[in-house]
Chain A
């Protein structure tokens, strides 16, 4: 969002409390949504649950086009629409709900740095595996991404998206990487996260923050999603403290929903 729009949204956000009918939009869960979008969506859902803010998850085939920035997920609160975790965190902060108020400056710097680490390495690796690996792209990504549409639109949209992602990978220097190298990068990233987490329950000891939500979203999705090769999930399962971290958050924040359904 531009600066002026952000300031405007913050002002309006501060005026109203969180409504009961807030909705979160994502692509169709069974057939359409891809790994990277599912991870981002789960991260936002985890964050909102951690803040204690109720939100309804609605699946729509054109969620990506409805979103103001083109990214999934986005939330519709009152008469405002906000997409992506960063702006959503600021939006909830303007409404008075924040998880990172108790952190001092150095910790906040580390939290932001680790969030960028997840975005820079994990999210990029997910996009690479989905769209730049020919096997995965042909078997999973293209069919799923274009499933709501009929021929020839499905082909056009799928190849367009693939082309866009491949161009971005080339621009950031991931174009020449092999799948092995990408798995290595993911291992390195998880090792860094594992080191930072150590034996604590959350990244900043007792209370979860947006970093915990983001890491949970990505790791849980990777572990529970079936891809053409199970290598990625295996690499993450090698870090036991990350596994127990995911299980802990699932039990604390998502269990009540699964037990009631």
Chain B
């Protein structure tokens, strides 16, 4: 086989292999279909070949960004998780994926990016901590504006703002969608029998972050947690296909039990980063001060008197 394709995706946390829905979707599909992918987990979207995550770099040096395109590409290479599906089941997959995109995705965008408490305490702080220094200052804000615009376009309301009524409407649609998915899943292990398909990947990608993240305002999360079969569905997929990530976080859990200790693992890096940035700032300020002569050291005191003489000297030299 040729060299495997490379997948760039967001880092994982909270027991998930990745925090982003689209990355999770692609990772899950690749696991279900048995596709060998070289996975680069990064937290700097500017390092990916397309500037956003997820991104698949194929061995013909083509870059694909949309999850649907990535799945089509894997299918063409004979990694097809939908091989055993009947035509009707394939049709149902398409229908339920559309249902999720229309009813669930707006509520998820609201929960993670627009709802003020969730955005400030969870999303923005997670991205700021994990992104490298200059990006963490502006990129989370830019991502938030992009998501808010997307929500406004999806709802076709240009003046949409966070608020209780919008929240109720979005959550009502999302809860209905979750209930419909639950009814379709029933007591089966996966949506179409015993082996997972692309619909399972989509459902997992959308529901797992909602299930596992530590959201301050968790209304939708609580509703999802009360739906037993979908909760088991997500946990089963994590245990079966991503055992390393599920285990890593269960080891971290005792140490990060207290809220203040939630940063416990990050503190050394955080302090180092803070120290480095403070030193850099100090160095920059001092060098600027020296170069412009605002600050002068003893042996350069004469420099304060020199500037008026410089010009005539230079004229003499030039002339």
Contact = CB atoms under 8 A, between A and B. Distances in A.
B87 A114 contact: no
A172 B87 CA distance: 27
A168 B156 contact: yes
Contacts of B150: 171-172
A195 B88 contact: yes
Central interface residue in B91, B92, B176, B183, by most chain A CB within 10 Å: B91
B266 interface: no
B192 to A, nearest CB: 13
A117 B180 CA distance: 14
A117 B184 contact: no
Given A116-B102, A171-B149, A110 B165 contact: no
A109 B94 contact: no
30 contacts: A2-B169, A70-B156, A106-B183, A106-B186, A110-B92, A112-B99, A112-B176, A112-B180, A113-B92, A113-B96, A116-B98, A116-B99, A116-B101, A117-B94, A120-B98, A120-B102, A121-B94, A168-B153, A168-B156, A171-B150, A172-B150, A188-B94, A189-B94, A192-B91, A193-B91, A195-B87, A195-B88, A196-B88, A196-B91, A196-B92
B49 interface: no
Interface of A: 2-4, 70, 105-106, 109-110, 112-114, 116-117, 119-121, 167-168, 171-173, 176, 188-189, 191-193, 195-196, 198
B90 interface: yes
B153 A171 contact: yes
Contacts of A116: 95, 98-99, 101-103
Nearest to A174: B66
B165 A3 contact: yes
B188 to A, nearest CB: 12
Interface secondary structure of B, over-half rule:
helix
Given A2-B165, A117-B94, A188-B94, A109 B180 contact: yes
* Chief secondary structure at chain A's binding surface: helix
Nearest to A184: B72
Given A105-B183, A188-B94, A195-B90, A119 B102 contact: yes
A2 to B, nearest CB: 6
A56 to B, nearest CB: 28
A21 B99 CA distance: 35
Query: What bracket does the count of chain B residues touching chain A fall in?
Result: 20 to 34
Given A112-B180, A113-B96, A171-B154, 7 more contacts: A106-B184, A106-B186, A109-B180, A116-B99, A116-B103, A120-B102, A171-B149
Contact of B98 (A2, A121, A171): A121
B172 interface: yes
Nearest to B93: A192
Nearest to B87: A195
Contacts of A171: 149-150, 153-154
Contact of A120 (B101, B153, B172, B183): B101
B223 interface: no
B202 to A, nearest CB: 12
Contact of B153 (A114, A167, A191, A196): A167
Contacts of B156: 70, 168
Contacts of B102: 116, 119-120
B168 interface: yes
A113 B180 contact: yes
Contacts of B95: 110, 113-114, 116-117, 192, 196
B129 to A, nearest CB: 28
Contacts of A105: 183
Nearest to A171: B153
A196 B96 CA distance: 13
B169 A195 contact: no
A198 B284 CA distance: 72
A241 B73 CA distance: 31
A239 B180 CA distance: 29
Given A109-B180, A113-B92, A113-B180, A172 B154 contact: yes
